[in-house]
Amino acid sequence: MDEYTDDTDSENSSEYSVPFAECLICGDLNSGWDSEFVQTDDFVASANGKCSACEMLLRGLSLVTDIQLVTKLRFDYDAALHILCWDDSDSVTSYEFYISSSGKIDGAWSHTSRDLLSPLDERLDLAKSWLDNCLESHSRCPPIVNKLPKRLLMLGDADDDIHLYETAGERASYVALSYCWGTAGNIKTTQENLKQRLKRIHTQEIPKTILDAVHITRHFGFKYLWVDSLCIVQNDRIDWAEQAPMMSDVYNKAAFTIAAHSENVHGGCLSTDQTRNTALATFDTIIAGQSTTISIRMDTRNNGLCPAHGVNGNERSKLENRGWTLQEYFLAERILHCTNSEMAWECSSHTSCECSTESEPDYGFRIGAQEFKKLICWKPDSMQQRSYLVNKIHDMWRDVVEEFTHRSLTFSDDKLPAIAGLASAVSQAFPGILSTTDYIFGLWRKDLISHLLWCRINDGTSTERLSQNKAPSWSWASLSHGPVFYPADNSIVDWFCEQWEFIEECEILSVHCSPSTPNIFGPGTGRIRLEGKLRQITLDHICDDSRPVTSKLSSADMNLTFDVHHDAYLGQSYYVLVLGRVMRKEKEKMATEAVHGILLAKSEVEEDLFYRVGYAKGDEHPLSSTRLVEGETRRIDVI
């Protein structure tokens, strides 16, 4: 929308003093006002003679929207004033009213924000002040001098050549880049050009996102930058296997991480005036006898354009949908977000952004990352705390898997490498509870029964089973793509029930794993020996939505979800291995809510050898679930 300016002279401008007479429509623009929905007719009536504040707001809204198309409104106040407008289709558009911080009126209008038209150097100075404030004031945030990664880009000053630098274990500060490669090609270090990269990297070779990150790093006064495509030898399997699990340290120990939210490596980090959320309209008014200008722009708090504006936005950037960046996000201590709208700062203590004049305590738009970080830093001082911590670690890991599998990867073979940094961080944080040998292809040996109970979400896309040397069939990482969740965990989360309990019905006898690379957190083959109730079933029905189910299992109905749809064959025999059941408290007794297990197919290679093909959940009818658990006890191997 073009920018409009209402420059009515001061004699005809709306004028009011503060405080206003009480208005039940706009709350006198009081930042503590808890607004309800307001019908547009009531708002217009208030503006026409009853409330000068409503009159001023109506004049502003009329510059950016057709008020006759608005059916209801709601006012929301923080550092700025936000007006949410609904139309007759119940679609909502939100506008931000503010006075530029440079034109603030003391003691009157409290809704001030920054304009987003500053020169680039001023914007970077503002961003640098966020880091400086963090280093000076935030006791929760760690120091920035650490052991350097194996390789870094040596930047020097603005006129210096850039080259790859192999470190020698020294300690210093560096910056890391988190970004999307995209499909248009990226600059890489390979075995063939490594020696040349150590001498010089020509600026014209470097894509815009990396080049912008170089500019930001230099402006902040740092000379080292870590970029995955250049600091890891891309066609060297040994180097990849060595460096992938080290990414936990790379992002965790960086002075800060630049998170570039552009679509690809050519999209850049630094937004232009054409993409920034600049004012749609401005108009002059008089507040408490002082002339001032009020600006109006789109409200971006919850649309995902800027991470500092909230976690519940409907939009996610390309970066936030990429599998590799999950561990980068969770492990980074400080993040400078570079979006197409503005820059934002995020650390363990505060969040800041370009448009707001306020620095907010971190109330958790990184709630998953912050909880993860707090958990891996916690040192229990009692057996009770230790027991709680053990359970919490496994619960959180399954949450991590759910989020990770909702993200995309260019190469499905990267599933385990892309989460290896998080696995490494967990094993390092709890040496007495978990070790590197406890991690098995995206799961953990301790609490393995619960980790085996993953189920693929039918999101309308097809998936394939990866080759056996990538991950065993019982690991979620064996699927090429597609989100998973944990139905047994979700059953337990019910606010209306006083007590739930998960009872294991299967015993893990042994686990054998053989990594296929030097990276113990990477791909490989594995076999689990289990002892539990095994029931043979025949698939006799497939729903219209292609979701296969079976019934008439000794009067116990089962809901089946196949990992790969084309593995479902009518009339074919499968096996359900019951892993556990969820119990609920009912009239002082524990009753079975549901039985959970995995769906298996028999291997032709050897006797009692099976592989996973899906997830099985017993009917929630207690009698059916009980009959299912009464199956034959078998000892089997699953690969």
Q: What is the pLDDT of residues 53-102, one digit of tens each?
A: 899 999 999 999 999 999 999 988 776 788 999 999 999 999 989 887 66
Q: Is there a domain that residue 119 lies in?
A: no
Q: Is there a domain that residue 120 lies in?
A: no
**Residues 328 and 449 grouped into a single domain:** no
Q: Is there a domain that residue 364 lies in?
A: yes
| Token pair for 490 | 């979700």
Q: How high is the mean pLDDT of the chain?
A: 83
pLDDT higher than threshold 60 for residue 13: no
Q: Is there a domain that residue 118 lies in?
A: no
- What does the pLDDT read at residue 23? 84
Q: Is there a domain that residue 152 lies in?
A: yes
N residues, the chain: 639
Question: Comparing C-alpha atoms, which of 95, 286, 275, 251 is closest to residue 179?
Answer: 251
3-class secondary-structure state, position 88: coil
Among 28-32, 253-257, 603-607, top mean pLDDT goes to 253-257
**Residues 603 and 487 grouped into a single domain:** yes
Cα distance between residue 391 and residue 427, in whole Å: 15
Q: What are the pLDDT digits (tens) for 383-426?
A: 777 777 888 889 889 999 999 999 999 889 899 999 988 898 88
Number of helices (H), then strands (E), in the chain: 15, 34
**Contact yes or no for 636/608 (Cβ under 8 A):** yes
Beta strands (DSSP E) in 263-342 are 281-287, 290-298, 334-338
Cα distance between residue 47 and residue 59, in whole Å: 9
- What does the pLDDT read at residue 3? 42
**Residues 242 and 325 grouped into a single domain:** yes
Q: What are the pLDDT digits (tens) for 436-457?
A: 889 999 999 999 999 999 999 9
Number of domains, the chain:
3
**Residues 258 and 362 grouped into a single domain:** yes
Residues 6+ apart with CB under 8 A from 437: 445, 520
**Residues 314 and 296 grouped into a single domain:** no
**Residues 241 and 337 grouped into a single domain:** yes
Cα distance between residue 317 and residue 189, in whole Å: 27
Cα distance between residue 227 and residue 229, in whole Å: 6
Q: Predicted confidence band at 630 (pLDDT cuts at 50, 70, 90)?
A: low
Q: Is there a domain that residue 67 lies in?
A: yes
**Contact yes or no for 422/331 (Cβ under 8 A):** yes
**Residues 449 and 571 grouped into a single domain:** yes
Record the pTM.
Answer: 0.80
Q: Predicted confidence band at 123 (pLDDT cuts at 50, 70, 90)?
A: very high
- What does the pLDDT read at residue 363? 44
**Residues 162 and 294 grouped into a single domain:** no
**Contact yes or no for 132/214 (Cβ under 8 A):** no
Cα distance between residue 355 and residue 353, in whole Å: 6
- What does the pLDDT read at residue 24? 84
Through-space distance between the first and last CA atoms of the chain, rounded to whole angstroms = 59
Residues 6+ apart with CB under 8 A from 621: 557
**Contact yes or no for 465/413 (Cβ under 8 A):** no
Residues 6+ apart with CB under 8 A from 169: 147, 148
Strand partners, 352: 345
Q: Is there a domain that residue 394 lies in?
A: yes
Q: Measuring CA to CA, how many Å separate 351 from each of 253, 333, 362, 363?
A: 19, 12, 6, 9
**Residues 455 and 601 grouped into a single domain:** yes
User: What's the longest Cα–Cα distance across the chain?
Assistant: 94
**Residues 131 and 42 grouped into a single domain:** no
Give the angle subtended at the CA of 127 by the CAs of 122 and 130, to the nearest 5°.
135
**Residues 284 and 246 grouped into a single domain:** no
pLDDT higher than threshold 70 for residue 267: yes
Q: Is there a domain that residue 357 lies in?
A: yes
Q: In angstroms, how far is CA 495 from the centroid of its own chain? A: 25
Among 95-99, 255-259, 322-326, top mean pLDDT goes to 255-259
**Residues 183 and 330 grouped into a single domain:** yes
Q: What is the DSSP string of 391-459?
A: HHHHHHHHHHHHHHHTSB-SSGGGTTGGGHHHHHHHHHH-TTT--GGGEETTEESTTHHHHH--EE---
How confident is the model over 578-603, as a mean pLDDT?
82
Domain containing 201: what range? 125-270+309-374
281-287 vs 4-6, strand pairing mode: parallel
Higher pLDDT, 341 or 152: 152
